[in-house]
Structure 1
Amino acid sequence: MGSLSRFHKIALISLGAVGGGLAYYQINSGKNEKKYGAYNSWTTNFTPSVKWDKNWDQEPESIVRPKRSDEPEEENKYNEKLEKARSKAVRHLFLIRHGQYNVQGETDKERTLTDLGRIQADLTGQRLASLDIKWDLLVKSTMTRAQETAAIIAKHLDKDIEVKDCQLLEEGAPIPPEPPVGHWRPEPRFFQDSARIEAAFRRYFHRAPPEQTKDTYTLLVCHANVIRFFVCKALQFPPEGWLRISLNHASITWISIMPNGNVVLRSLSDTGHMEPKYITSR
């Protein structure tokens, strides 16, 4: 290739700044010089490998009775019902993993928080309080470590927050992971845990009801396997990939469900409010 002109050099520098989005850049000089071009691989005949399922939580069009005819009056009635059924607010879900606990305990009651686990829960409670959010609901798994974590967090929140227990949020094995984990094979539990954790997802993950006019903020204090599965399901990622996600103790995972049904992951396993010496995951 011959020497590059000033224009070509600037073009190459610009291409370098753009990075991996460019498939190729070709410059030929001399008598057989060809046109140069840059192509974004994702803009040329792009087809999503997986399309977003808008009806994942029953969108308004699927629950409003279809039109009986194309008459203007019938069309107006249908549109009015459709508008009334539409969500108007955002549901914010904060998924909190319990703090570090005594893994040597043989029963759930013996699997209490360690001293470090109580510190982690307290720091997370302080962090949640500092967000200056009006919390609507605190839901906690009925397992001991989640109950203790939630109790510590609640000390930092408004006294009038509604608090509930939920057995559906207990720890379990949601679905066989991919890739498989050789040393972890709880196959008998999948039949029981999978249906329960799926039911928990359906209970808490949905668009705001049409009568809700303000955004809501819900805290779910539960467990790593449950949260990881929820994240995959909410984002419509392959759920069997849940075990590839690592979550710190007392971490904050924030998911927002928009009125149009889109789901936004705002933070995952956030423990930035803790000093490194307090951060653990196992």
Structure 2
Amino acid sequence: AAVASASAAAPPGLLLLPPAAAASCPPAAGWIERPAGTGGYWDSNWDRREPLALINLKKKNEETGEEELASRLDHCKAKATRHIFLIRHSQYNLDGRADKDRTLTPLGREQAELTGQRLASLGLKFDQIIHSSMTRATETTEIISKHLPGVKKISTDLLREGAPIEPDPPVSHWKPEAVYYEDGARIEAAFRNFIHRADAKQEEDSYEIFVCHANVIRYIVCRALQFPPEGWLRMSLNNGSITHLVIRPNGRVALRTLGDTGFMPPDKITRT
């Protein structure tokens, strides 16, 4: 009778289960409550730069014999926010056999101009442009930098294109495990070198541009957001697109934009 009365009071179309039946139905995973701070979802020390991880807890103050933990923690604490702009290179010549022959197409050069104009229009004080040493990324950087005069450019092999990790679900074309083993270590090294919270000495927020490749960017996004890195191939990025990551002083990461090309005319957008 109690069940019948409860069902009668329910909104149309909503069936209320008896208590015993309801208890036997576990809640959906997304609705399971967990005590705050128990972890399991977000590793706050993902970049190994949490203040407590940067100090030697065994070291004592020579005068007092105390650790002065609070003071030392404060000294190691980040204060600034890092804004990471990940730019995929523009369209390039797919017929080139060697890297030096894979130069930007005329459309690719137009795309780079549009990306540079978009970045300049943001009115931000960019600190640096770090780019892959591959030809298509270098040429994209040169065009973008014309719109950002005075911003220093740094070339690195770490950001070169490659296969970061075997994707899930797998792709139809096979790659030997050695490819993922070699490329993956390098791209992971790029992530660890470039994607982290600000150094404690950094006083002001920074804005940095990284010009590289689709696989590298997709892997970095997965790693930064602590998503399964094997899912990198489930995303797609247009040529010249802008992806914006924000890393807060406490290590929290937010994805502001993924693969934005809304600033390009539709007939200029490609994904080769």
Per the alignment, residue 97 of structure 1 pairs with 88
Q: Which region of structure 1 is more displaced relative to structure 2, 159-168 or 246-255?
A: 159-168
Q: How does 1:95-244 map to 2 (within 5 A)?
A: 95-157=86-148, 159-244=149-234
SS in 2 for 1:169: coil
Q: 1:26, CA displacement in angstroms?
A: 3.3
The answer to whether the aligner puts 1:261 opposite 2:234 as a matched pair is no
Query: Structure 1 pair 128/68, CA: closer, same or farther in 2 (3 Å)?
Result: closer
The answer to whether the aligner puts 1:85 opposite 2:76 as a matched pair is yes
Does the CA contact (< 8 Å) of 2:59 and 2:67 recur in 1? no
Give distance in 1, aligned partners of 2:32 and 2:184: 40
Task: After superposition, give the CA deviation of every residue in 1:25-83 in whole Å (9 maximum; x if it has no partner).
Answer: 6399xxxxxxxxxxx955553589942111111111112122679xxx76771100001
SS in 2 for 1:96: strand
Give distance in 1, aligned partners of 2:188 and 2:239: 23
Give 4+ residue runs of structure 1 displaced > 3 Å after superposition.
24-28, 40-50, 73-76
Give me the TM-score of the superposition, normalised by structure 1.
0.82
Task: After superposition, give the CA deviation of every residue in 1:198-234 in whole Å (9 maximum; x if it has no partner).
Answer: 1111110111011101000110000000001000110
Match of 2:236 among 246, 258, 261: 246
Give distance in 2, aligned partners of 1:214 and 1:190: 37
Give distance in 1, aligned partners of 2:160 and 2:47: 23
Give distance in 2, aligned partners of 1:127 and 1:201: 25
Does the CA contact (< 8 Å) of 1:173 and 1:186 recur in 2? no
Give distance in 2, aligned partners of 1:265 and 1:130: 20
Task: After superposition, give the CA deviation of every residue in 1:242-279 in whole Å (9 maximum; x if it has no partner).
Answer: 11110000000000111001111110000010111111
Give me the TM-score of the superposition, normalised by structure 2.
0.85
Does the CA contact (< 8 Å) of 1:169 and 1:222 recur in 2? yes
SS in 2 for 1:168: coil
Does the CA contact (< 8 Å) of 1:67 and 1:75 recur in 2? no
Match of 1:60 among 43, 51, 58: 51
Give distance in 1, aligned partners of 2:244 and 2:271: 18
**In angstroms, what is the RMSD of aligned CA positions?**
2.6
Does the CA contact (< 8 Å) of 1:112 and 1:145 recur in 2? yes
SS in 1 for 2:84: strand
The answer to whether the aligner puts 1:279 opposite 2:269 as a matched pair is yes
Give distance in 2, aligned partners of 1:237 and 1:119: 34
Query: Structure 1 pair 74/60, CA: closer, same or farther in 2 (3 Å)?
Result: farther
Aligned residues: 254
SS in 1 for 2:68: helix
Give distance in 1, aligned partners of 2:84 and 2:140: 17
Give distance in 1, aligned partners of 2:72 and 2:264: 48
Does the CA contact (< 8 Å) of 2:239 and 2:270 recur in 1? yes
Query: Structure 1 pair 52/274, CA: closer, same or farther in 2 (3 Å)?
Result: same
Counterpart residue identity of residue 45, structure 1: E
Query: Structure 1 pair 186/278, CA: closer, same or farther in 2 (3 Å)?
Result: farther
* Unaligned ranges ≥5, structure 1: 17-23, 29-39
SS in 1 for 2:187: helix
Query: Structure 1 pair 213/181, CA: closer, same or farther in 2 (3 Å)?
Result: same
Does the CA contact (< 8 Å) of 2:57 and 2:67 recur in 1? no
